[in-house]
Amino acid sequence: MTKSSLSSYDEMLEADGSTRPAYSGYCEWLKEQPPELLRRKSGEAEAFFRKTGITFNVYGNEDAEERLIPFDMVPRIINAAQWRRLSKGIEQRVRALNAFLHDLYHRQEIVRSGRLPERVLKGNKAFLPQMAGFTPPGGVYTHIVGIDLVRTGEDDFMVLEDNARTPSGVSYMLENRETMMAMFPELFTKVRVREVSDYPRRLARSLAACAPPAASGHKPVVAVLTPGTFNSAYYEHAFLADQMGAELVEGSDLKVENGRVAMRTTRGWQAIDVLYRRVDDDYLDPLSFKPESVLGVSGIMDVYRAGGITIANAPGTGIADDKAIYSFMPEIIEFYTGEKPILANVPTWRCSESDSLAYVLDNLADLVVKEVHGSGGYGMLIGPTSSQREIAMFAEKLRANPDNYIAQPTLSLSTVPIFTKAGLAPRHVDLRPFVLVSPQGIDITPGGLTRVALKKGSLVVNSSQGGGTKDSWVLDD
Amino acid sequence: MLGRSANGIFWLFRYLERAENTARLVEAGFRMALTRDAADASDEWRSVIVTLGLQGAYQAKFGNDYAGSNVFNFILRDRDNPGNVLSMVEQARHNARMVRTGITREVWEAVNESWMILKQELARTVTETRLGGVLDLIRRQSTLVRGAMEGTMLRNDIYYFARAGSFIERADNTARLLDVKYYVLLPSLSYVGSSLDNVQWDNVLRAVAGDRAYRWLNAGRMEARGIAEFLMLDGRFPRSLAFCYAQLRDYLDRLAVEYGDRLETHEIAARTHEQLKSQTIDGVFEHGLHQVIGQFIAANNHLAQQIQRDYRFTE
């Protein structure tokens, strides 16, 4: 474990202990801050988050119904040149994802050409036959995307995961910045950091630009669909609706009437043009998917296919961020853009292929093995930190159902210091930039959400597994 | 706005108003109990339980033992009393979370903070030493939320539904307090005008924070008619029925203007308000105070239900 941190790339400090250029402005400021002040501010940040109610609910943990995601006040800093390159790579990837989705639900040229094996799609639950032959308004599938990046060296950024369903975390990106600006206003006069606060406005504009044919002639009515107050990301749903000036609706507020999806308002039923749904595909329409679902709207898929509403993200986008598909992303990018991928994938072994499976089984102690359809850090094996018994048990699961797994090397993720009682200490981080897609183009908010593993040496940054977050800065030129 | 959100904000303010009024009632009871001997103090606490309509639930747990600390803990925090003050505040906070997009950050923070503080304060048994501080806290948090509303909320339908919730609840609470005092608490009519009677009336006035105003207006004279008139018909006193209805009618009228639509709700509010305005205290006592109040409570409840129907609070 500690081995990984020793050999990791630290984003703030060079190997000789000197400060890297991106952090020079910050570190100059930091040197002048009395340690007691910083300690006090750290406590203030937590009180601030509790007061504002920025909490998330943890599944399967009733005692801790609402928990805070720990916030660390040392920012994660990316310089302008690095960000330019990242943006290009992200844009290319997101363009490819949308082209890929359109193709999958139409002619499937990529399968015909032999670049993607048909077996990956066959029986894949994330592929929705209901979407076949249908093009969403504006041709956009993934209105909001989160691309999870990890870094292993000065210029070595890799994509760990694409989140093309309903990526969350953007409210933390915004609140982390608010918190930093409230705590250390003078810092932002010393270091020029690119703005993130207009994300909700950009989101609203991007969603409105994807309005369906039925919305022509008026300003599109946008609503955010939440599963309700008990959902782990409820705070974010309310936050985004609030910031966009959109209604926050639940399934029980909606019904299909005269070919439109309408919400029950105090003045009567009002049609919705664009629904930013934070409800999974399965629960969206009991008539088309899970019949017992009460979180969605009966008949919304029919309205959707008839051009009566835009659903963001489009149903069926999950096929693009499936981990079985992930390993084909380099091919997918080349196929649709005709370009070499700017951002690399993390090397991935598909356990469905017998050679790879044999290699993975032989090297479990060094690998990270993930479920193809899993997320949130659940159901995975981190070889280097697991006991022999855990590894043996996992090997059995793997042999029984190899198609269900992929494996990746244990990456030596970059570190950024966090503020601890004993001073600054390096911890592993990742980065989730947020990307908006509309017919007007692809819009990437500078920075994103930095997640940080708070335990020394740990590589797991997921908030559901005790990770924290940092404010992420992209420096202005 | 969504019907569900209107429902959420309406009840958010009903719960907060109820929590505050409950705290005021306990405070008045506490003060009375302090100034009297043990047996009378226990009577006083019983009257607080009766006023809140909790005697069934209370007796199921404690029988006829009306020891002060049992009573106020039962009212404030006992899980065997589903309507305890802590759960009202919890419910209010839950609603605030649900309508988060309709309230300002300051209102949300005031409600959230109230819940955080009270949850902590009411996590353990409240002793007599702590009681004053706890009650003070409940009132102050309520004032904080009201101030945040007043100072930061846009005057639109959301605000009007919030205010309607507050005044429906306040009118109900004042009416019940008066009714219980007059109809239930006095052992018999021969007590009218007795010293017990006067203490009880003083208690009622304290529970609605009207003791000073009343004394100032009436040169300290305590008598049932004057107090009933003050609590029902005096439009200057912010917890009187007349005041609540003038406000209710005003906010509902603004809603009608905003929506361009007058509904059954407005007819009921106007009718009840006109009735209050045309009444004299002699007329009230001629009809029987209990009857008049009973009719008022029913009409108030009817209005609440009509608002929920007219504005599609539920499917």
Structure tokens at A377: 């850090």
List pLDDT tens digits, range B251-309: 999 999 999 999 999 999 999 999 999 999 999 989 988 899 999 999 999 999 999 99
Q: How high is the pLDDT of residue A7?
A: 76
* Calpha distance A367→A407 (Å, rounded): 6
Once rounded to an integer, what is the mean pLDDT over residues A152-168?
A: 93
| Interface contact A51-B98, CB threshold 8 A | no
Q: How high is the pLDDT of residue A1?
A: 37
* Calpha distance B89→A449 (Å, rounded): 34
* Calpha distance B33→A208 (Å, rounded): 63
List pLDDT tens digits, range A3-59: 444 578 999 999 999 999 999 999 999 999 998 888 888 888 877 777 776 665 544
- CB interface of A with B, residues 210-229, below 8 Å: 229
- Can you say whether the dihedral through the CA atoms of A330, A331, A337, A340 is positive or negative? positive
Buried residues in A264-281 as b, exposed as e (16+ CB within 10 A): bbbeebebbbbbbbbbbb
Shared domain check, A276 and A157 = yes
User: What DSSP letter does each residue of A274-310 carry, written as one string?
Assistant: EEEE-S-HHHH-TTTS-TT--SS-TTHHHHHHTTS-E
- Chain A residue with minimal CA distance to B104? A242
A136 three-class SS: coil
Q: What is the Cα Rg of chain A in Å?
A: 23
C-alpha distances out from residue B310 to A254, B86, B266, B315, Å: 18, 31, 10, 11
∠ Cα A81 A83 A87 (to 5°): 125
Residue B196, pLDDT > 80, answer: no
Structure tokens at B91: 């419910």
CATH code for position A399: 3.30.1490.270
What is the torsion angle, in degrees rounded to the nearest 10, for the CA atoms of residue B6, residue B12, residue B18 and residue B22? 180
Q: In the structure, what pLDDT confidence band is assigned to residue A62 with cuts at 50, 70 and 90? A: very low
Check: CB of residue A299 under 8 Å from CB of residue A256: yes
* Last residue within a domain, chosen from A410, A426, A441: A410
| Interface contact A51-B97, CB threshold 8 A | no
- CB interface of B with A, residues 182-211, below 8 Å: none
Which residues partner with A151 through β-bridges? A157
- To test the contact with chain B by mutation, choose from A51, A234, A266 the residue with the greatest count of B C-beta atoms within 10 A, namely A266
Q: How high is the pLDDT of residue B194?
A: 63
Once rounded to an integer, what is the mean pLDDT over residues A339-356?
A: 93
Q: In the structure, what pLDDT confidence band is assigned to residue A63 with cuts at 50, 70 and 90? A: very low
Nearest to B113 among A51, A249, A253 (CB): A51
All residues at 6 or more sequence positions from A37 whose CB lies less than 8 Å from its CB, including other chains = none
Domain that holds residue A383: 347-410
Other Cβ atoms less than 10 A from the Cβ of B28: the count is: 25
Shared domain check, A229 and A367 = no
* Last residue within a domain, chosen from A371, A388, A410: A410
Chain A residues within 8 A of B97 when measuring between CB atoms: 53, 229, 234, 238
Which residue, A374, A410, A372, is CA-closest to A391?
Answer: A410
Shared domain check, A390 and A342 = no
- CB interface of B with A, residues 69-108, below 8 Å: 94, 97-98, 100-101, 105, 108
User: What DSSP letter does each residue of A328-351 carry, written as one string?
Assistant: THHHHHHHHHSS--SSEEPP-EET
* Calpha distance A309→A259 (Å, rounded): 9
Would an 8 Å CB–CB cutoff place A46 in contact with chain B? no
> What letter does residue A211 receive in the DSSP assignment?
-
Shared domain check, A352 and A269 = no
Shared domain check, A201 and A105 = yes
* Calpha distance B292→B296 (Å, rounded): 6
* Last residue within a domain, chosen from A382, A410, A438: A410
Would an 8 Å CB–CB cutoff place A398 in contact with chain B? no
| Number of domains into which chain A is organized | 2
Shared domain check, A462 and A446 = yes
Q: How high is the pLDDT of residue A376?
A: 58
Q: What is the Cα Rg of chain B in Å?
A: 19
Nearest to B109 among A52, A246, A266 (CB): A52
C-alpha distances out from residue B137 to A53, B23, B88, B115, B267, Å: 20, 9, 15, 11, 38
> What letter does residue A316 receive in the DSSP assignment?
T
Would an 8 Å CB–CB cutoff place B140 in contact with chain A? no
Shared domain check, A418 and A402 = no
List pLDDT tens digits, range B9-37: 999 999 999 999 999 999 888 887 887 77
Nearest to A266 among B113, B157, B315 (CB): B157
Pick from A67-76, A171-180, B84-93: least confident: A67-76
Shared domain check, A387 and A325 = no
